[in-house]
Chain A
Amino acid sequence: MKQILKVSVGFLITALVFTSCNNDKSSKSNSALSSSAAEKVYVAPGEYDEFYAFISGGFSGQLSVYGLPSGRLFKVIPVFSQDAEKAWGYNEETKPMLNTSHGFIPWDDSHHPDISQTNGVVDGRYVYINANNTPRIAKIDLTTFETTEIIEIPNSAGNHSSSFVTENTEYVVAGTRFSIPIPQRDMSIKDYKGNFKGALSFLKINPDNGEMAIKFQLLMPGFNYDLSHPGRGKSHGWFFFTTYNTEEANSLLEVNASQNDKDFIAAINWKKIEEYVNNGGGTKVPSKYAHNLYSDETHTATSTMMDEVLTVNPLDVPGAVYLLPTPKSPHGCDVDPTGEYIVGNGKLSANLTVHSFTKMLDAIKNNKIDGEAYGIPILKFEDVLAGSVVQPGLGPLHTEFDGKGNAYTTFFISSEVVKWKLGTWEVIDRKPTYYSVGHLMIPGGNSGQPFGKYVLAMNKITKDRYLPTGPEVTQSAQLYDITGDKMELLLDFPTIGEPHYAAGCPADLIRANSKKLYELGKNKHPYAAKEDADTKVTRKGNEVHIQMTMIRSHFSPDNIEGIKVGDKVYFHVTNLEQDYDVPHGIAMIGANTSELLIMPGQTETFVWEPKEVGVWPFYCTDFCSALHQEMQGYVRVSPASSNIELSWSLGEDF
């Protein structure tokens, strides 16, 4: 008995010693690991991040600007959704930006930002991004970080295989996800097959100012066009689109669009079609679409309704369009930096399919045709295949490249990023994501020259990763270091909306060009008050126009009388400051709109329709100086029948 006791005490002691030792060790190594990850993402106060990341806002409709590696959020650029904070879509100047052929639309679903390129390298001039729901493409100017253009895409629905740029920003593409009747007409949904079409739009970019114009729309068979990427280097001049629902099902696609063993990647020789169009080819068809432009000089947007578009039947341009069979319902369509490999991320396939551009040209040359779809030649799978990554994971969605011969693919179902080698197709590393990763981004990843230092994974599900916030939890991204053989998870950070694609580039490309203010002398807003002498209040019937200025810390005028119930009062407010980071805001009690947030040298307008007699205050909403709380004013509102003349003043003896 005693012995047993002794033995067991001895055992207990040894066990204690061992376990405590183990505990010590593991906690030490853990903290050493996490501190090195922390150092890699730590950007000291006052210092700058190395990269800008432009992350799509998904169903928020916006574009967010983050710094990498810190994951700090700098700005949410309003694009397709109204933003009361910045008066986007609320002030008179920007309402036309959200105009469409369907009228004013306050929201959209923003998906795939892409940075403009010169000679195959991101140049940091513009970001283009697509609206998925009511098809549009927006241009964001990276000198002001403002949306300066939105063009609607007619004959398109679910504008998803967009908005990717070619290597000299010759074109931005906008491919339809849903095929539809073109032109739209009243017909039975059951007659989809063979009758619906999928429009792939090529938007020509003006090299001087980045402005977009629809050059042509290629009317393809009625498949779903999911994603796309441009050829580059040797494949420059081609564009590649993944397709699914080549079954042309119109109901229960979950089942009915997964019947075919292979769908296609459509290879489009846009240079050939451009030449055809330049020589007078194509058919002009009536199509209504809005083209909205914002001017930094008038600080005002204009919306022009266009009425026709040039369409091209692929059969009219022989040798311009081929279909590459790709297993099964491929999602992402990604081209490596050399332009040789085209990756089809077959989301229901066990293997990852990679096509070879060289082999494709060879197959075309040697006429290795394996049938046709509505007259479009289908190339033989084996003759275009470069190789397969065998069973790398479940549910591949997107691939990016590091410029060192490696590819990184996200797997939605198995929640991981897998690193593999181009050419040998061997898997090198895999790291879990938390959870269900969608897109991923390496700065410059969609170009000939990626900056392969980090990969950013954007997740669809975050469940237990953050403090809970009720049923709706945060969206998030995860940053990995990819400089070594093995990837290292560095950071989780929350994002706005559900991030789809993102685009990144070295901060130096953009920082030096970032505008600090708008020059007052160049302000051409029709109601600008560029100096105090310009301030006035004028009446046209029941429309009253107040031309007001703001500077630290007063409005001029700040006392206004002679406004009547039933008037429509336009506050045109100019910020006279000509210094960096001195915006002012203005808000009026009871105005059925947002505040204005006005940058130095800018003019913005809000409308107020006073409904009640009284004296109503307005004030500055952006803390501007020690006297910010004093920055306020009053408007006297008299009965509609009143004959009080308009008068305005600043200071007692003004």
Chain B
Amino acid sequence: MKTMLKLFSLLFISLLISCGGKDEKKKESFSYEKKTTNETKAPVKTETIPASAKVDLTNKGIGPISSVVLNAEIDQAMVTHGQEIYNKMCTACHRPNKKFIGPAQAGVMERRTPEWIMNMILNPEEMVQKDPLAKELLAEFNGAPMANQNLTQEEARAVLEYFRTLK
């Protein structure tokens, strides 16, 4: 009887194993100090606002751009051009409306000065080393560096115009 039981349990186990091959059920995972992704949670302390949510409309950043004039009316031709460049050069790491490798661009015009944005595009190496906000962003995004895609100032300006349409 004992040996029969042993044989049966062996058979049962081997069946279990062979079943598992095709459609493996999700194994129980574990979590250890996992970052909370839920941003609607009220922060415990005010200092923990992530850099991507901080608003700073005075900092112009470090780089070739010291002043940008935004016309009241959005230039649609420039937006189209800017969106094309964004899709080509930026979507490897960015999505307009959600956090990806880097932060989302929607609403960025309400959080940053136009000069800061263009300097971040045109001069990212120096920005992440010296600009306090850019430094914080680098840390928030796990040290993923903002790549310099060698855009011209004209191209970066067009991308900025596109950002104006992202709410």
Do they bind each other? yes
Known: A554-B101, A626-B143. A576 touches B148 (CB 8 A): no
Please tell me which one of the listed residues A520, A553, A625, A626 contacts residue B88 in the complex, with CB atoms under 8 A apart: A520
CB distance from B96 to the nearest CB of A (A): 13
Interface string of B94-112 (1 = CB under 8 A from A): 0000001100000000000
- Asked if A551 contacts B150 (CB within 8 A), the reply is no
- Asked if A552 contacts B145 (CB within 8 A), the reply is yes
B51 within 8 A of A: no
Neighbouring A residues of B78 by C-beta, 8 Å: none
- Asked if A578 contacts B100 (CB within 8 A), the reply is no
**Complex interface: stretch among A183-191, A219-227, A304-312, A526-534:** A526-534
- Asked if A627 contacts B150 (CB within 8 A), the reply is no
- Asked if A530 contacts B88 (CB within 8 A), the reply is yes
Neighbouring B residues of A651 by C-beta, 8 Å: 100
Within the assembled complex, what's the spacing in Å between the Cα atoms of A530 and B89? 9
Residues B117-167 near A (CB distance < 8 A) = 142-145, 147-150
A517 within 8 A of B: yes
A459 within 8 A of B: no
- Asked if B89 contacts A578 (CB within 8 A), the reply is yes
In chain B, what residue has the closest Cβ to A549? B92
- Asked if A579 contacts B149 (CB within 8 A), the reply is yes
B11 within 8 A of A: no
B87 within 8 A of A: yes
Known: A517-B150, A554-B101, A578-B150. A625 touches B145 (CB 8 A): yes
Neighbouring A residues of B92 by C-beta, 8 Å: 531-532, 549, 551, 554, 556, 576
B10 within 8 A of A: no
Known: A531-B91, A551-B93. A627 touches B143 (CB 8 A): yes
Known: A530-B88, A531-B87, A533-B87. A552 touches B143 (CB 8 A): no
Within the assembled complex, what's the spacing in Å between the Cα atoms of A521 and B87? 13
Residues A541-594 near B (CB distance < 8 A) = 549, 551-554, 556, 576-579, 582
- Asked if A627 contacts B93 (CB within 8 A), the reply is no
Within the assembled complex, what's the spacing in Å between the Cα atoms of A627 and B139? 12
Within the assembled complex, what's the spacing in Å between the Cα atoms of A551 and B145? 10
Query: Is chain B's binding surface mostly helix, strand, loop or mixed?
Result: loop
Within the assembled complex, what's the spacing in Å between the Cα atoms of A551 and B87? 14
- Asked if B147 contacts A552 (CB within 8 A), the reply is yes
Please tell me which one of the listed residues B88, B89, B142 contacts residue A627 in the complex, with CB atoms under 8 A apart: B142
Within the assembled complex, what's the spacing in Å between the Cα atoms of A576 and B142? 20
Within the assembled complex, what's the spacing in Å between the Cα atoms of A551 and B91? 11
- Asked if A627 contacts B144 (CB within 8 A), the reply is yes
Within the assembled complex, what's the spacing in Å between the Cα atoms of A552 and B142? 12
In chain B, what residue has the closest Cβ to A553? B144
- Asked if A582 contacts B147 (CB within 8 A), the reply is yes
Neighbouring A residues of B91 by C-beta, 8 Å: 531-533
CB distance from B64 to the nearest CB of A (A): 16
- Asked if B148 contacts A579 (CB within 8 A), the reply is yes
Within the assembled complex, what's the spacing in Å between the Cα atoms of A552 and B89? 13
Chain A contact-residue range equals 20 to 34
- Asked if A578 contacts B143 (CB within 8 A), the reply is no
Neighbouring A residues of B101 by C-beta, 8 Å: 554
Neighbouring B residues of A549 by C-beta, 8 Å: 92
Neighbouring A residues of B142 by C-beta, 8 Å: 627
CB distance from A576 to the nearest CB of B (A): 5
Residues B60-98 near A (CB distance < 8 A) = 87-89, 91-93
- Asked if A578 contacts B145 (CB within 8 A), the reply is no
Neighbouring B residues of A533 by C-beta, 8 Å: 87, 91
Known: A531-B87, A532-B91. A551 touches B147 (CB 8 A): yes
CB distance from A139 to the nearest CB of B (A): 28
Within the assembled complex, what's the spacing in Å between the Cα atoms of A556 and B147? 16
Within the assembled complex, what's the spacing in Å between the Cα atoms of A553 and B146? 10
In chain A, what residue has the closest Cβ to B100? A651
In chain A, what residue has the closest Cβ to B125? A579
Within the assembled complex, what's the spacing in Å between the Cα atoms of A627 and B148? 16
Neighbouring B residues of A625 by C-beta, 8 Å: 143-145
Neighbouring A residues of B100 by C-beta, 8 Å: 651
Within the assembled complex, what's the spacing in Å between the Cα atoms of A525 and B148? 23
Neighbouring A residues of B89 by C-beta, 8 Å: 520, 531, 576, 578
Within the assembled complex, what's the spacing in Å between the Cα atoms of A556 and B100? 13
Within the assembled complex, what's the spacing in Å between the Cα atoms of A551 and B148? 11
Within the assembled complex, what's the spacing in Å between the Cα atoms of A582 and B100? 21
Neighbouring A residues of B144 by C-beta, 8 Å: 552-553, 625-627
Within the assembled complex, what's the spacing in Å between the Cα atoms of A502 and B100? 51
In chain B, what residue has the closest Cβ to A550? B92
Within the assembled complex, what's the spacing in Å between the Cα atoms of A209 and B62? 41
Neighbouring A residues of B150 by C-beta, 8 Å: 517, 578-579
Neighbouring B residues of A556 by C-beta, 8 Å: 92
CB distance from B127 to the nearest CB of A (A): 14
- Asked if B87 contacts A578 (CB within 8 A), the reply is no
CB distance from A105 to the nearest CB of B (A): 38
Interface string of B11-47 (1 = CB under 8 A from A): 0000000000000000000000000000000000000
In chain A, what residue has the closest Cβ to B88? A531
Neighbouring A residues of B93 by C-beta, 8 Å: 551
Neighbouring B residues of A554 by C-beta, 8 Å: 92, 101
CB distance from A278 to the nearest CB of B (A): 46
Within the assembled complex, what's the spacing in Å between the Cα atoms of A556 and B89? 14
In chain B, what residue has the closest Cβ to A653? B98
Known: A551-B92, A579-B150. 20 other contacts (CB 8 A): A517-B150, A520-B88, A531-B91, A532-B92, A533-B87, A533-B91, A549-B92, A551-B147, A552-B145, A554-B92, A576-B92, A577-B147, A578-B147, A579-B147, A625-B143, A625-B144, A625-B145, A626-B144, A626-B145, A627-B142
10 A-B pairs with least C-beta separation: A626-B143, A551-B92, A579-B148, A578-B150, A532-B91, A578-B149, A531-B88, A576-B92, A625-B145, A532-B92
A-B contact pairs, 21 of them (CB 8 A): A520-B89, A530-B88, A531-B88, A531-B89, A532-B91, A533-B91, A551-B92, A551-B93, A552-B144, A552-B145, A553-B144, A554-B101, A576-B92, A577-B147, A578-B149, A578-B150, A579-B147, A579-B148, A579-B149, A626-B145, A627-B142
Q: Interface of A with B (CB < 8 Å)?
A: 517, 520-521, 530-533, 549, 551-554, 556, 576-579, 582, 625-627, 651
